[in-house]
Amino acid sequence: MMNCMDELIAFLGVRYDEDEAAAKAAHHEGQRWLTEEEGVYRWPDDELVHSADRKADARHIAMHAPAAVLRDVAAKRAIVERCERAINDQGIAMEDGQEALAECVLVQLGTEFSEHPEYKQEWAPWW
């Protein structure tokens, strides 16, 4: 039977799979997203990706380009894996509080998806 942290780890894994799949579908090796006024362009081919209403919106969209999302997902997967190992004591030298800290990190990572219909309130921060 899965405990609360195991369920949260599985939930995060599925969300990261979804984010990764969407980013891979939009990603082309070597591309970067840049802004010019309200436009978001794919470099190096200067293709317009999106035309926003405001410059700030265009900058925000460009910051979340597929390559950035792929790096973000990889980093979060590494954090989750390290926390899971700490919780399950898999080869990590444990010091006082490490398991509790790992659980806090997982709970905090989960808040990114707190509006997802499969998010459970028992995963919400308790502090």
The per-residue pLDDT for 98 is 86
Mean per-residue pLDDT pooled into runs of 10, the chain (127 residues) = 89 98 92 94 92 96 96 98 86 72 96 98 91
| pLDDT at site 107 | 97
Q: How many CA atoms lie within 13 A of 127 on its CB side?
A: 7
pLDDT at 93: 60
HSE, CB side, 13 Å, CA atoms: give it for residue 61.
21
Counted residue by residue, the chain has a size of: 127
| pLDDT given for residue 45 in this prediction | 87
Entry pTM:
0.87
Q: How far apart are CA 74 and CA 100, in angstroms?
A: 23
- Would you list the domain boundaries of the chain? 4-119
- Please tell me the predicted confidence (pLDDT) of residue 1: 60
